[in-house]
Structure 1
């Protein structure tokens, strides 16, 4: 059942990323880096996104465990495939304001669905969940800081105006995740308790 939820979460995120891409707005995390790179080089977003996440799998294994890491690799691969599939849809214009608000919110909901089923999309997702687990930090706020840095790096590819829209997109994304922070924390706590019970059995 969790795998189905993860696939649905990846599909939701891919729709949000499509809106951001068609409005030429970037987002944060490794997805934002991949979008910026694809704007500059016309490289495949899916391939770039998958490759950028490879170093973070080591961190995920060391800090979050192998089950979380495997599910994250699955989600990243699934999203990479889905973003390629949604690219087959006819191009349609999306105003940057609409794209940043709706795209950011949709990506946020998709990420929450992944978080609540023991998965992530790598990069800042892993760091934010680890920091919440270790220090009880709000993952929405943590991701906002990381995402803001990524957008500042990506300003060269989209310019200042769309950079401002991009910041709006991560505000919406972070707000959605913050709404679910308690449920995410409870899931992580329950997962940790299950691991401890299995280890002592």
Structure 2
């Protein structure tokens, strides 16, 4: 139950972050950024485009990450699409570009970290980042930044130079948050494991003495 609630919290946070970026007219990376970019280009709802863009990545996920992870990702993507539909009923307002970039990047980074820590993702580059982390122990924050940077560069046509730079700032903050969470989790595991081993050795020693 705790895992499900953590995933839901992550999706809600990412949804809020995407809405902030949307009202700042800037993009983010991955399939969310690609979907935002296409929504600006074709004046279409983000929620529908985001769901469609992720479909090809589900095939890769099934082949490389398994059905359990894929189903969790599909549910997360579907919920994010559903939650971001709320934006259609919000009043029209504008968030300053740099404020939106910083706050949106922070909130999305925390949300994605919640998803990663609980065996889920939001498709696209997230799937690849987790796959490379599991297989080659590559930092998911670094992988996410590389792919996000490519998406943002390709979006300069639709958002312009200034908003493009703000988008790069946003993904840099997002990636740093993910890396920070990843390092904290690794540090906790490193502390807990020696304690378990020490306890096991002491127990064996007591048994041997008896």
Q: What TM-score, normalized by structure 1, do the two folds share?
A: 0.89
User: Which position in structure 1 is the counterpart of 2:154?
Assistant: 153
Give the unaligned 5+ runs of structure 1. 187-201
Structure 1 ranges of 4+ moved more than 6 A: none
Show the counterpart of 1:72. Answer: 73
Structure 2 residue runs of 5 or longer lacking an equivalent are 188-210
Deviation of 1:117 after TM superposition, in Å, equals: 1.1
- Is the contact made by 1:133 and 1:185 (CA closer than 8 Å) also made in structure 2? no
1:16 aligns with 2:2: no
Q: How many residues align?
A: 187
Rg larger for? 2
Structure 1 segment 36-47 matched on structure 2, within 5 A = 36-47=37-48
Deviations 1:91-144 (A, max 9, x none): 222111000000011001000111111100000000001111111111001100
CA RMSD for the aligned pairs? 1.5
Q: Within 1, Cα distance between the matches of 2:131 and 2:124?
A: 11
Identify which range, 113-122 or 85-94, moves more after superposition: 85-94
C-alpha separation in 1, matches of 2:186 and 2:72: 18
Instruction: Report the equivalent of 1:108.
Output: 109
TM-score, normalised via structure 2 length: 0.85
With over 3 angstroms needed to count, the CA separation of the structure-2 counterparts of 1:183 and 1:61, relative to structure 1, is farther
Aligned residue number for residue 95 of structure 2: 94
1:123 and 2:121 correspond:
no
Q: CA–CA distance in 2 between the matches of 1:182 and 1:98?
A: 26
